[in-house]
């Protein structure tokens, strides 16, 4: 009986709404765009969150990254020298790695990194490379796909071998599309043999939170020290800068994820003791990961709240149209009450119509917000060079459908109550 009554209410509701097709469609649009915007906003937030978390995780959740930083003291010290002798000294020392290994014997590995901006040449092709002097452990700690050849080995480091591993971008620009292993390239007039090509997380022309760049070239740290010395010379606009930095970066891999934070605390105390001038920065991806998750949670709530305003507007539209419908159908309500319809049945009828509007609008908005808009957003962001894989999370779909039903109930209840409370005699007199 109840099921038959529900079907009858739905049938009557559809017929009533179809009498004013354009008005019903325009009323639904508020809910359509409201639901679509809520889902799309949360999809953008989820996509950007996943992208950021992936970038942080690529740094290694077990890693602690110490980076050399030029301080004002080192700049002032260099400026106090004669102009042709200006040399800035700062940052990590080779001894820092040895001391850290002594202080933290349980760490899995430490990877020293020295970075030199140098020009490379192959025949008539030249390009600026970030030459990375490091140890073979770099490739064990920072996992990158080996696309051709091999990576550096302990034998290369011990022999101070003149070998180099390139990224795909550097290989294409220097060696051509059909680059081959075994070719020779000149780096600041020093000849190196290409032994491998490894992938890079960084993209050309885009800075990112990665441990590598698109134009990196990896050589053994011992070779880097022998061939290029300790001083870094850069030609600027009308001036030459000279720096002495032993290591630009030192990556420490903790024995486990649980030990990362305690290891980081020891490293911070260590660096404060041996580098009181603060010529370093310490980055802990695990801390960044936790912080990013908290920020994204707040961001998702903010985006959802903003988009929810449009749902509120859609609900007000439903209430407005249902109040107009009550006024138009006053005589019909009077007739129904006169032949025995109860208040509850009138309420059910008008609530059914309001919910038909909100649920239909919600389903259309769901399709738009969960399927169409995320795809458009992903394609548009990829075209701008910063792809955001917008993906509607399941909770956003459930939330939006639930809200659209609630909108129908909340904003349809007052018009339904108003219709049910009409005086039957006055309603019959209504013209």
Q: Where along the chain do its domains lie? A: 2-56+291-429, 64-253
| pLDDT average per 10 residues of sequence, the chain (431 residues) | 67 74 82 82 77 73 88 56 63 91 88 91 88 92 87 93 92 78 90 92 57 87 89 62 85 88 91 90 84 74 72 79 78 77 79 83 84 78 66 76 79 80 70 59
Q: Which DSSP string corresponds to 80-95? A: TS-GGG-EEE-SB-HH
Q: CA-to-CA distance for 287 and 219, rounded, in angstroms?
A: 31
Which backbone phi and psi does 116 adopt, to 5 degrees?
A: -130, 125
SS3 (DSSP) at 240: strand
pLDDT at 44: 78
pLDDT at 322: 81
CA distances from 292 to 205, 259, 273, 389 (A): 25, 20, 30, 17
pLDDT at 268: 93
Q: CA-to-CA distance for 378 and 1, rounded, in angstroms?
A: 49
pLDDT at 120: 92
220's tokens? 């053994």
Taking a C-beta distance cutoff of 8 angstroms, is the pair 98, 112 a contact? no
pLDDT at 205: 47
Taking a C-beta distance cutoff of 8 angstroms, is the pair 34, 314 a contact? yes
pLDDT at 88: 75
- Element holding 265 (H helix, E strand): helix 260-274
**What strand order describes the sheet that includes 240-244?**
87-89, 240-244, 231-235
pLDDT at 157: 92
């Amino acid at each position: 009986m109840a099921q038959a009554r529900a079907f009858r209410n739905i049938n009557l509701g559809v017929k009533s709404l179809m009498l004013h097709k354009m008005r019903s469609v325009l009323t639904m649009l508020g809910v359509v765009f409201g639901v679509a915007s809520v889902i799309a906003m949360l999809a953008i937030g989820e996509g950007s969150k996943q992208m950021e978390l992936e970038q942080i995780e690529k740094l290694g959740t077990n890693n602690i990254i110490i980076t050399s930083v030029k301080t004002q003291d080192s700049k002032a010290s260099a400026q106090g020298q004669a102009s042709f002798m200006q040399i800035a000294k700062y940052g990590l020392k080779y001894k820092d790695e040895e001391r850290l290994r002594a202080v933290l014997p349980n760490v899995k590995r430490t990877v020293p990194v020295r970075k030199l901006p140098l020009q490379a040449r192959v025949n008539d092709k030249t390009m600026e490379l970030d030459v990375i002097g490091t140890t073979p452990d770099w490739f064990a700690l920072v996992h990158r796909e080996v696309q051709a050849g091999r990576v550096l080995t302990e034998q290369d480091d011990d022999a101070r071998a003149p070998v180099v591993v390139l990224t795909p971008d550097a290989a294409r620009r220097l060696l051509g599309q059909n680059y081959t292993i075994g070719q020779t390239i000149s780096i600041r007039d020093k000849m190196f043999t290409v032994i491998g090509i490894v992938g890079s997380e960084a993209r050309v022309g885009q800075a990112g939170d990665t441990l590598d760049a698109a134009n990196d070239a990896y050589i053994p740290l011992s070779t880097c020290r022998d061939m290029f010395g300790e001083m870094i010379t850069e030609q600027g606009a009308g001036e030459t800068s000279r720096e002495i930095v032993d290591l630009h970066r030192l990556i420490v891999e903790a024995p486990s994820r649980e030990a990362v934070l305690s290891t980081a605390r020891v490293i911070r105390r260590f660096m404060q003791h041996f580098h009181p001038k603060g010529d370093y920065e310490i980055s802990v991806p695990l801390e960044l990961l936790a912080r990013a998750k908290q920020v994204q949670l707040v961001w998702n709530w903010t985006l959802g709240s903003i988009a929810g305003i449009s749902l509120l507007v859609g609900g007000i539209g439903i209430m407005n149209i249902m109040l107009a419908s009550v006024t138009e159908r006053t005589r019909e309500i009077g007739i129904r009450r006169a032949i025995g319809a109860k208040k509850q049945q009138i309420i059910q009828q008008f609530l059914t119509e309001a919910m038909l509007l909100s649920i239909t609008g919600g389903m259309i908005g769901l399709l738009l917000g969960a399927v169409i808009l995320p795809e458009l957003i992903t394609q548009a962001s990829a075209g701008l060079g910063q792809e955001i894989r917008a993906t509607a999370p399941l909770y956003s779909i459930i939330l939006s459908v639930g809200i659209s039903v609630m909108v129908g109930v909340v904003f349809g209840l007052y018009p339904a109550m108003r219709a049910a409370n009409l005086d039957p005699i006055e309603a019959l007199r209504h013209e």
